[in-house]
Structure 1
Amino acid sequence: MRKILIYGGTTIVLILLAALLFIQVKGIPSYPVEKPPITLNTDSASLARGKKLASMLCASCHLNPDTRQLTGRPMVDAPKEFGEIHAPNITQHKTYGIGDWTEGEILFLLRTGIKRDGKYAPPYMAKLPLMADQDINAIIAFLKSNDRMVAAADIPDQPAKPSFLTKALTNTVFKPFPMPTAPIPMPDTSNAIELGGYLAKNLECFSCHSADFKSNDFLVPEHSEGYFGGGNKPLNEEGQVMPTPNLTPDKVTGIGNWSEEKFVKALKSGIKEGEPALRYPMKPYTELTDKEAAAIYKYLMSIPPISNKVERSPE
């Protein structure tokens, strides 16, 4: 009996080691690639909308402070557990950027997380499975435009070095999202809570302000652990953990006692009552209108409160 247990235990250990070795060697998984049809609207209003959204979504990772273009940069603020991350060049350069990507290939990546070579984009890359067709098309139109931010830049990418955890998660938990099977309309802008929810989800505010990047649900954001309750642990540029604050309407540990005016000012300017409200990696959303910022506030006031006291990192 003892020999059977020893043999059985040894077999389990060997199977586990083989599985770990397989994941390490296999790395990030690949999937079939599609090129969905897409028709872009390239009028001035669409391009302006696309630039606005890209400035809030793409630029936070891909904007290089030296080039002032979307040439990519080392992601020193990303959790170290995901490995060594470099945001790639997404300018119009045909070799180093996405200049020779088709609009459909960009759409497929943004919707599903699958790159044109079939590789899955790791969990730290923004994916937009719920964004309205009009908005995601505007982003793509901007990325394919002649705006200086995306003009072809002859700057090679630095390959990322995903950790074993990233490889394991992308082979088990994190999977590509399905392409939408029906049109996704824009939110009703006359309904503040609907508009605010749309922005809070599609600008990925919930991703940082929920409990943990690893437990976020991008298809049903409300199912994310600790939805908007804060406590996630992004890093600043010095590698210091910056726990995200609780944005639920809890009156003790959240923003339940904040006025709409205070919230809008903090979100758009980064200032509250004469002191900094936002610190890197969170930056002011200067691109938002007062109406949009107020709508986000109204949405946050409508979600269930979570009692979760998050201690602010020292200056």
Structure 2
Amino acid sequence: MKKGLKVVLLVIGGLIVLVALAAAVVSFRGIPKYEAKKVDVKIEYTQARIDNGAKLASMLCRSCHYNEQTHRFTGRELTEVTQFGKIYSKNITSHADAGIGKWTDGELVAFLRTGTKPNGQYVPPYMPKLVHISDEDMSSIIAFLRSDNEWVKAEPTKQPECDPSFLTKFLTNIGAFKPFDYPEKPIPQPDTTNPVKHGEYIALYQLECYACHSKDFAKNDYLVPSKSEGFFGGGNKMFDMEGKPISTLNITMDKRTGIGNWTEEEFVKAIKFGQLPANQPGLRYPMIPYSNLTDKEARAIYAYIKTVPVIENAVERKGAE
């Protein structure tokens, strides 16, 4: 009896040691590196692309990379995603050393598509990957980053290095978070004459609304968004600018717990201006109004969301966006 107990204790002790060693290795190794994709491309910086890129950057880049002190895209601490650790967005101005001034167009495209920097460093999901965005929209973003817009003019401010949480390190080391494959085929612009298809493109591939409005960042499927757990059903825990927890809203068409009772016009006002239907408090950070969306684009998103499977998930409005 005593011998059997001794064996059990030895096995348990051995497992504890192995787990501790594995945890130490993960913590020490940090975020893995990969071979960076080589992309040979030179983008034409037309004014039309710069203008479109400015619009896209205002919706995709500004909320994380804009710094209130420098008034440029020099990065900041991302207090709203503390589940990933102590995370800082980086300087993406044209500064040669502090920013991305030395990056080639191909390196920028490869990073935005795959999540791997030119030096091979992978960046976890707190940095969205534009794996599905059209080639033309991608070219527009690059053209804007190369422009003389005040947001991206060279600025030497550097942010501290990120200190990822153990969970982030663990998930990257087991491959749950890893770089995306570079697209094998050209990605065309969406059919803007079809509201549902147009709205699907904006909601899933441009703005990635599902990423916040599904159940959990760690359970999102960024390659096939509709497979994300709790797709558009909300409840994802985030944090406001003061570090207070806030849950994302259910934006499926469930009439009791979602937005099934909202009219198209009410949806347009909410997504563009942060104005919710009568007797409801306005939207709060981290949800930002997308005022640069056209009414046609906002209505297209509404048309698409009407096709998303309804989820009944009551999210307390007190701490929800």
- The one of 183, 188, 202 aligned to 1:185: 188
CA contact (8 A) 2:46 2:143 kept: no
The residue number in structure 1 matching 2:242 is 238
Q: Which residue of 1 aligns with 2:267?
A: 263
Give the aligned length: 314
**Aligned-pair Cα RMSD in Å:** 1.4
Would you say the 8 A contact 2:94–2:100 is kept in 1?
Answer: yes
Find 1:95's aligned residue among 97, 105, 112. 97
TM-score if structure 1 supplies the norm length? 0.96
User: SS of the residue aligned with 1:272?
Assistant: coil
1:36 aligns with 2:39: yes
User: What's the counterpart of residue 26 of structure 1?
Assistant: 29
Contact 2:240 2:285 in 1 (8 A): yes
- Structure 2 letter corresponding to 1:291: K
5+ residue gaps, structure 2, are none
Could you tell me how far 1:314 is from its partner in structure 2? 5.5
Q: Structure 2 residue aligned with 1:310, among 299, 315, 318?
A: 315
Task: Give the secondary-structure state (helix, strand or coil) at the position aligned to 1:242.
Answer: strand
| 2:84 aligned residue (82, 85, 88) | 82
Number of the residue aligned with 1:166:
168
Deviation, structure 1 residue 154: 1.6
**CA distance in structure 2 between the partners assigned to 1:125 and 1:38 by the alignment:** 23
Q: How does 1:43-192 map to 2 (within 5 A)?
A: 43-78=46-81, 80-172=82-174, 173-192=176-195
Q: Quick one: distance in 2 between partners of 1:189 and 1:176?
A: 30
Aligned position for 1:247? 251
Q: 1:277 aligns with which of 271, 275, 282?
A: 282
1:17 maps to which of 20, 29, 42: 20
Contact 1:243 1:313 in 2 (8 A): no
Instruction: Give a deviation string over 1:187-235, Cα, whole Å, max 9, x none.
Output: 1000000010110012111111000111111100000010000001111
* Structure 1 segments unaligned to the other structure (5+ residues): none
**Other-structure match for 1:289:** 294
Q: Write the letter of the residue equivalent to 1:116.
A: P
Name the % identity: 48
How far is 1:55 from its partner? 1.1
Task: Report the CA distance between 1:2 and its aligned residue.
Answer: 3.8
The offset of 1:58, in angstroms, is: 0.9
Question: Residue 20 of structure 1: SS of its match in structure 2?
Answer: helix
Look up the equivalent residue of 1:233 and give its one-letter code: K
